[in-house]
């Protein structure tokens, strides 16, 4: 086989190992997630109280397990983040819990052009050739259309992670922003047909285009 053109980590994280949280375990994770609200910086006065916490498939990387979550608030915002911990060994208990929580007012119902509702957070880095660095990024969400079965993360059309839908939810952990290549998330049906794709930078691209257009008008 010829050498790889793009030398990047592929399928670096373990696939989901557990069912979506329930029972006492879900209660423990929910408490950890909501305790993370104490770390919120710059939250609006009308953020409101969190409602039901929605969990997404677990992914493990570098010895830690990440369980992402979202929760709507009474103020019309969405909380998003993850609970991270050291998995249980033998008959022990999970340990070293930590939480990241943020908020947004960009909701799926306010963006009818979205095909998938995505959240993302950089959780580490990977150093590649000639000092180039990839941002190892946790991506979680749900399709906004029916018929999907598998979601992939692709870097310049190279699949670097994938996850089967679990109760219409998915979690990816993949390299992003590496050597000018940016991550795309793609939804496929059971026959391998692409149904939808979303860029993590869709909003940024639109803002750049608007700025470019304004600059041209001024000239």
Condensed to tens digits (0 to 9), the pLDDT of residues 178-193 reads 999 999 999 999 999 9
Give CA–CA dist 58/163, Å, rounded.
10
Domain residue ranges in the chain: 23-211
User: Tokens standing for 6?
Assistant: 């793009």
Predicted local distance difference test score (pLDDT) of residue 204: 57
Q: Which residues of the chain have pLDDT under 50?
A: 209-210, 215-219
Predicted local distance difference test score (pLDDT) of residue 218: 34
Predicted local distance difference test score (pLDDT) of residue 213: 52
Predicted local distance difference test score (pLDDT) of residue 215: 45
Give CA–CA dist 39/139, Å, rounded.
21
Predicted local distance difference test score (pLDDT) of residue 203: 58
Give CA–CA dist 45/57, Å, rounded.
31
91-125, pLDDT tens digit by residue? 889 999 999 999 999 999 999 999 999 999 999 99
Going by DSSP bridges, is the β-strand pair 116-127/170-176 parallel, antiparallel, or unpaired?
Answer: unpaired
Q: Strands of the chain (E only): list them.
A: 50-55, 59-61, 64-73, 78-86, 95-104, 116-127, 133-143, 150-155, 158-164, 170-176, 183-188, 194-199
Give CA–CA dist 56/41, Å, rounded.
24
Cβ–Cβ under 8 Å, residues 174 and 161: yes
Cβ–Cβ under 8 Å, residues 196 and 113: no
Predicted local distance difference test score (pLDDT) of residue 216: 37
Give CA–CA dist 77/148, Å, rounded.
27
Cβ–Cβ under 8 Å, residues 175 and 126: yes
């Amino acid at each position: 086989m010829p050498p790889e053109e793009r030398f990047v980590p592929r399928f670096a994280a373990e696939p989901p190992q557990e069912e979506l949280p329930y029972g006492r375990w879900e209660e423990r994770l929910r408490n950890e997630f909501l305790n993370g609200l104490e770390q919120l910086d710059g939250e609006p006065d009308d953020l409101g109280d969190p409602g039901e916490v929605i969990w997404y498939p677990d992914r493990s990387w570098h010895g830690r397990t990440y369980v992402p979550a979202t929760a709507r608030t009474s103020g019309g915002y969405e909380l998003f983040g993850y609970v991270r911990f050291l998995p249980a060994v033998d008959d022990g208990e999970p340990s070293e819990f930590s939480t990241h929580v943020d908020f947004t007012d960009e909701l799926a119902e306010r963006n009818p052009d979205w095909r998938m509702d995505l959240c993302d957070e950089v959780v580490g880095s990977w150093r590649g050739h000639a000092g180039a660095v990839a941002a190892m990024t946790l991506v979680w969400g749900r399709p906004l259309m029916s018929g999907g079965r598998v979601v992939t993360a692709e870097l310049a059309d190279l699949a670097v992670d994938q996850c089967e839908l679990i109760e219409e939810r998915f979690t990816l952990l993949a390299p992003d922003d590496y050597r000018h290549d940016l991550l795309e998330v793609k939804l496929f049906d059971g026959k391998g047909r692409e149904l939808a794709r979303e860029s993590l930078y869709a909003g940024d691209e639109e803002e750049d285009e608007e700025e470019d257009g304004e600059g041209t008008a001024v000239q």
